[in-house]
Amino acid sequence: MDYSEFSTSIVSELPKEGLITCTSPSNIALIKYWGKRPVQLPENASISFTLDHCKTTTSLRYKKKEVLATTFDFELLFEGQPKPDFKPKIQAFFERIESYVPFLKHYTFTIETSNTFPHSSGIASSASGMSALAYCLMQLEKKITPDITDNDLLRKTSFLARLGSGSACRSIEGPVTVWGEHPDVTGSSDAFAVKFPDTVHQNFEHYQDTILLIDKGEKQVSSTVGHNLMHGHPFAHQRFDQATKNISTLKEILISGDLDAFIGIVESEALTLHAMMMTSMPYFILMKPHTLSVIQKIWEYRKITGSKVCFTLDAGANVHVLYPNQEKEKVLNFITNELVAYCQNGQYICDKIGFGAKIV
């Protein structure tokens, strides 16, 4: 693949020093990405809701070096404290993007980040964290190449975020984004995410996502290991084909606003993701008993009330409860009365569909 459109050269004077602050949210996949090829390219297209509340704020302080060095120089602070264990990830990210961001070694950076969601809540901070850092870097690039168009800037931000953490590329814009080349999605690419190109039905406006924190412990199997287990997985090809078909189906649902069809496809995708984990070799299970209890309760509630509430899952035990804004009061009552008992320390986060990264 030729990604030369993302290469730039330093043409103007580099700014001496400054500070850029931005926020970028997490996202929740409706059609899941599980399985990748080098470097960080998806085996199938995925589609997600960008979130609003769960986000990372990143400040990038940059100071031009007197003499150009051969190393990346950066300091990292997480919630105000030095965070040496995050450094290798950023170092690897800088190495990966260096050929597209040629000014990196010209600066000493201080990167300060914080999250709105509790640390070790089981909510992955890589999507919001990597997209926030990519967004800050591209704001600096804009100072160096001011002619870059808004569209090119967003595409390259998503392209860089992807190289940090795959699903991070879907956090730059909102409310719905697609990552991965797909014949039914105009402009889609494996290299970056695009905003869902059609008009999303008003049924999905302000769509709610209440995240139930079922288990906040460290996952036994990381996403990286999980993706790798799709190589040689007995159902890999069927899964990638299914996801490709599901994108076409979900596209029509997002346009038509058919919530029953939405529930069917979203819940099936969540369970299929976990079925892939259970049928990997070695096999593993990330759901906990309380994950299943919550799913049962949601199904019962839906049957009794006719509600359009449904669930999806990430690569973990937490449950994302998705529902239309019109049902907010009723579903929140149901959650507090019947589901919170299954959350670790009764913790849950009220979120909703959002619009992507922003400068602060």
Nearest distance from residue 19's CB to ligand PMV, in Å?
Answer: 28
Q: Which long-range contacts (CB under 8 A, 24 or more apart) does 310-313 make?
A: 310/262, 310/263, 310/266, 310/267, 311/266, 311/267, 311/270, 312/28, 312/29, 312/30, 312/266, 312/267, 312/269, 312/270, 313/270, 313/271, 313/273, 313/274, 313/287
CA 26/CA 354 separation, integer angstroms = 9
Give how many residues touch ligand PMV by CB under 6 A. Answer: 15
Three-state SS for 58?
strand
Using CB under 6 A, pick the residue from 116, 139, 158, 223 that binds ligand PMV.
223
Strand partners for 111:
60, 76
- The token duo for 93 is 């990210």
Give ∠ CA 84-88-92 in degrees, rounded to 5: 150
Closest CB to ligand PMV among 115 and 223? 223
- The 232-271 site mask, x for binding ligand PMV (CB under 6 A), equals ----------------------------------------
- Residue placing its CB nearer to ligand PMV in the complex, 166 or 324: 166
Which token pair is 220? 């036994």
Stretch that binds ligand PMV, among 7-15, 112-120, 165-173, 196-204 (CB under 6 A): 165-173
Per CB under 6 A, the list member of 29, 101, 276, 353 interacting with ligand PMV is 29
Residue 33 within binding range of ligand PMV, rule CB under 6 A: yes
Q: What are phi and psi of 308, to 5 degrees?
A: -100, 20
Q: Residue 129 interacts with ligand PMV (CB under 6 A)?
A: no
DSSP string, 131-143: HHHHHHHHHHHHH
Q: Which of 132, 214, 315, 357 binds ligand PMV (CB under 6 A)?
A: 315
Beta-carbon contacts of 16 under 8 Å, excluding residues fewer than 6 positions away, are 63, 64
Return all residues near 67 (Cβ < 8 A) that are at least 6 apart: none
Nearest residue to 77 (alpha-carbon basis) of 59, 62, 93:
59
Decide if residue 32 touches ligand PMV (CB under 6 A).
Answer: yes
Q: Does 35 bind ligand PMV (CB under 6 A)?
A: no
Compute how many other C-beta atoms are within 10 angstroms of the C-beta atom of residue 267: 18
Cα 294 from Cα 285, distance rounded (Å): 16
Note whether 23 binds ligand PMV by CB under 6 A.
no
Cβ of residue 274: shortest distance to ligand PMV, in angstroms?
A: 9
Pick the closer one to ligand PMV by CB: 61 or 195. 195
Q: Which residues contact 116 (CB under 8 A, 6 or more apart)?
A: 53, 54, 55, 56, 57
- Phi, psi angles (nearest 5°) of residue 321: -95, 115
Q: Which of 26-34, 75-83, 280-288, 324-332 is the region at the interface with ligand PMV (rule: CB under 6 A)?
A: 26-34
Q: Interface mask (CB under 6 A) for ligand PMV, residues 45-84, using x and -?
A: -x--------------------------------------
With contacts defined by CB under 6 A, name the span among 79-87, 134-142, 164-172, 180-188 that binds ligand PMV: 164-172
Q: Does 167 bind ligand PMV (CB under 6 A)?
A: yes
| Three-state secondary structure call for residue 329 | helix
Options 8, 21, 91, 126; binder of ligand PMV; rule CB under 6 A: 126
The residue range among 31-39, 110-118, 136-144, 287-295 that interacts with ligand PMV, by the rule CB under 6 A, is 31-39
Shorter beta-carbon distance to ligand PMV: residue 144 or 266: 266
From the CB of 258, what's the least distance to ligand PMV, in Å?
Answer: 22
Contact 164, 92 (CB under 8 A): no
For residue 176, which of 357, 27, 347 has the smallest C-alpha distance? 27
**Of residues 32 and 156, the one with the C-beta less far from ligand PMV:** 32
Query: Does 109 participate in binding ligand PMV (rule CB under 6 A)?
Result: no
Q: Which of residues 295-314 bind ligand PMV (CB under 6 A)?
A: 314
Give the footprint of ligand PMV on this chain (CB under 6 A): 29, 32-34, 46, 124, 126, 165-167, 223, 227, 273, 314-315
